Structure 1
Amino acid sequence: MLAPRAMSPARCRFCALASLGGIADDWRHNREEAEHMVKMRMIALTTPKPGREQEFHDWYNNCHLPELVNQFGFTQASRWELVAKLMGSDTNPYLAIYEWEAEDPMAFLGQMGEAAQSGKLTQSDAQDFGTCYTAVFQALGEPVLPS
């Protein structure tokens, strides 16, 4: 399993201390680790090929999402169906949102790409790749919550 939460000992002074025989308090290590982590979201807008909708949904729900969450350590992944289009011209009726935190988001994405290219991820040809849109975002501050 690839671990997006793994810290590089050189980047975390508490890990470095522990490797020299010192013991860091868990709360200090967790605080230091959190400072290095970047909150990420990947979205995928998708459409199944005509006549292959059930195959597409079965693959996405029972194979694709579990593979990504279990092999790469996403904190969660979920799928959504379009209810109302408010603006824009995208035609994809389905949305997947993947959430994770990583010290180096681009290295994490590179590991996913390598796994896909090497056949370690199950692919499906039931998806219309001509309409698919996938993008990665990083957090711009903390979520706004009700006051």
Structure 2
Amino acid sequence: MNPARCRILAVGKVRKSWVQEGIALYLKRLPGLTITELRDSTPEKEAEAIRQALRPDEVPVILMEQGKTIDSVTFASRLGGYGSQRLAFVIGGADGITAELKASAAWQLSLSPMTFPHELARLLLLEQLFRAQTIRAGSPYHRA
């Protein structure tokens, strides 16, 4: 998984400084990965902004509670399966993602059966992307 081939599209801003610090740490560890922040609005307007922000060559991965939960090793393997394709991880706003946008996703992913604020979901996703990179590189960071 090449971080430069991944992007996060996230609705809303990160306001908590401790979450901002964690995000900054993982972005340093994942050079090339970017986060595009989109305005909070209604789910329909957010879906339109997400569709507009998606590049034609990106495979959308929607993060949602009802998505598939997988362990970190499986996540790393799945990312590796995309090879040189570009991935766009989409984190919706507080009111969720429209059914149409969910249906358009190549992959629906759940970080946990629990619900997290979008700020924490962003930080958790970054950590898992870093962990996936270290798993694929054989680094001792991941101890299962």
Instruction: Tell me the TM-score normalized by structure 1.
Output: 0.24
